[in-house]
Amino acid sequence: MRKILFRAGTILVLLIIAAVMFFIGRGHTIYFDNKNLDYEGTRYEAVRRINVSVNGEQVARLSKKERGMATCMGQSFQFDIEVIREKNGESEFYSYSLSLPYGMDGIIVNLPGIMSGLPQDAWMSEFIPAPEPPDEENEELPGEEDFDPAGEI
């Protein structure tokens, strides 16, 4: 009886760890856009320069119409931006904290949109990678035993 409980406990603990890993290990790529955004008939203009940093480390310096990226594990993501609207002008600093949708690998965040305080669906969208050109050459498929003397181990 004790044995069964012990085993069930071990399995349960492993399952819980696995479940936790699913959430804290889920990787996302976040793309920051400094681009014009049209939302409900209004245009939110891109800004002269935005510097994006994550955990105090600068990940992107974006001029107008540029895109930067960062990676993130887990569903909560914090980043800071420094906005410079005019040449030699004052910097404005903002911090944002997002909760990322689990199902999206790549997430585009439109910075002018988020700065204007729009609802999330206005400035967040999924990044869909361009479909790869169909590879005509046949990929090499395995044989009985692929023996490669130069194989690294």
- Among candidate residues 61, 97, 93, 103, the one with its CA nearest the CA of residue 79: 97
Phi–psi pair at 16, nearest 5 degrees: -65, -45
Segment contacting another protein by CB under 8 A, of 31-39, 60-68, 109-117, 141-149: 141-149
Q: Measured from the CB atom, is 104 or 122 closer to another protein?
A: 104
Site for another protein in 63-92 (CB under 8 A): 71, 73
Q: Measured from the CB atom, is 26 or 48 closer to another protein?
A: 26
Q: Which of 1, 4, 5, 24 binds another protein (CB under 8 A)?
A: 24
Assess 140 for contact with another protein (CB under 8 A).
yes
- Give the number of C-alpha atoms closer than 13 A to the C-alpha of residue 43, restricted to the C-beta side: 5
What whole-number distance in Å separates Cα of residue 53 and Cα of residue 61? 9
The burial class, CB within 10 Å (0-12 / 13-18 / 19+), for 76 is exposed
Minimum distance, C-beta of residue 7 to another protein, in the bound complex (Å): 12
Residues engaged in binding another protein (CB under 8 A): 14, 17-18, 20-22, 24-28, 71, 73, 105, 131-132, 134-135, 139-153
